[in-house]
Amino acid sequence: MNNDNPPKITSSPGANNRTPAALVAPTREQLDSADVRILKTGESDKADLLEVDLGAGPMVVKDFSKKAWWIRVAGRLQIWREARAYRILGPDPGAPRFVGRIDAHALAVEKIDAVQLGYAEDRTESGEDKLRRLREILDRIHAKGLVHWDLRTRENLLVDAEGKLYVLDFASAMWLRPGGLAHRLLFRWFRLVDESAYLKWKRLLEAGSYTEEENAFLDRFRFLRALWIHRSSAWRRNKTRPKS
């Protein structure tokens, strides 16, 4: 794990006009007493997703507090990692705006009015444009020294009614300080996981056939599949790819 301190990024009021500047993360007391809607009850090792609105606008809260103690221990690391990634990324148009960390077990982000792209019936409509937007988001993420590492999961990419894309769930993200020794030595290798995910989305969006170079990349990347501990089943569900 990289021990460099990430840059401190402070969002100015109105920096992201999708979210009111007054949107503030609830305290644990507010979260326990507010009118909360359960969006998804996480599996035994996953956080619960809640929707809460304290009057300034809806937020999505990722919360491990109701899980078993050993899951809460792992959840603390995920919450810390994800909060750090959002702070490093800053107010990016391709990600939900980070509202704040509630405590060691929970954080809040803005609620995006969008659907999961991977399961959208019209996901292939303007597929090349969607893929181009994903490329732009990935390039900005990588420019910050971040690797997402879980973009193969269909739930982690949203699309709104205007066709804008949003990347979710930075709980697995790794940060290497740009210019640092670890970044110079390792970053180009770590980002290969995101690049493989990008090519998976190219197939899902039917955004053209793979080039010879892309097919060669996927062939070289095959040996890393066994090391992909976060979503290994995603590899097994998606073995086929279009022919160039």
Domain count, the chain: 2
CATH of the domain at 70: 3.30.200.20
Residues 119 and 232 occupy one common structural domain: yes
Q: d(Cα 7, Cα 182) in Å, to the nearest integer?
A: 16
| pLDDT for the residue 227 | 60
| pLDDT for the residue 219 | 86
Encoded amino acid at 144, one letter:
K
Residue 101: its H or E element:
strand 98-103
Residues 163 and 96 occupy one common structural domain: no
- pLDDT tens-digit series, residues 15-66: 343 444 578 999 999 988 778 999 999 998 999 999 999 888 999 999 999 9
Identify the top-confidence range among 8-12, 17-21, 232-236: 17-21
Please name the residues in contact with 172: beta carbons below 8 A apart, sequence gap of 6 or more: 78, 81, 148, 149, 150, 230
Answer yes or no: is 16 within a domain. Answer: no
Answer yes or no: is 9 within a domain. Answer: no
The pairing of strands 48-53 and 36-40 is antiparallel
Chain centroid to Cα 224, Å, comes to 21
| pLDDT for the residue 9 | 34
- pLDDT tens-digit series, residues 74-125: 999 999 999 999 999 999 999 999 999 999 999 999 999 999 999 999 999 9
User: Please, are residues 11 and 1 in contact by the beta-carbon 8 Å criterion?
Assistant: no
Q: Domain limits at 207?
A: 115-237
Separation in Å, CA 168 to CA 21, 37, 70, 79, 87 = 21, 19, 25, 13, 14
Encoded amino acid at 160, one letter:
D
Answer yes or no: is 2 within a domain. Answer: no
Mean pLDDT of 141-165: 95
Residues 49 and 65 occupy one common structural domain: yes
More reliable by pLDDT, 152 or 9:
152
| pLDDT for the residue 233 | 45
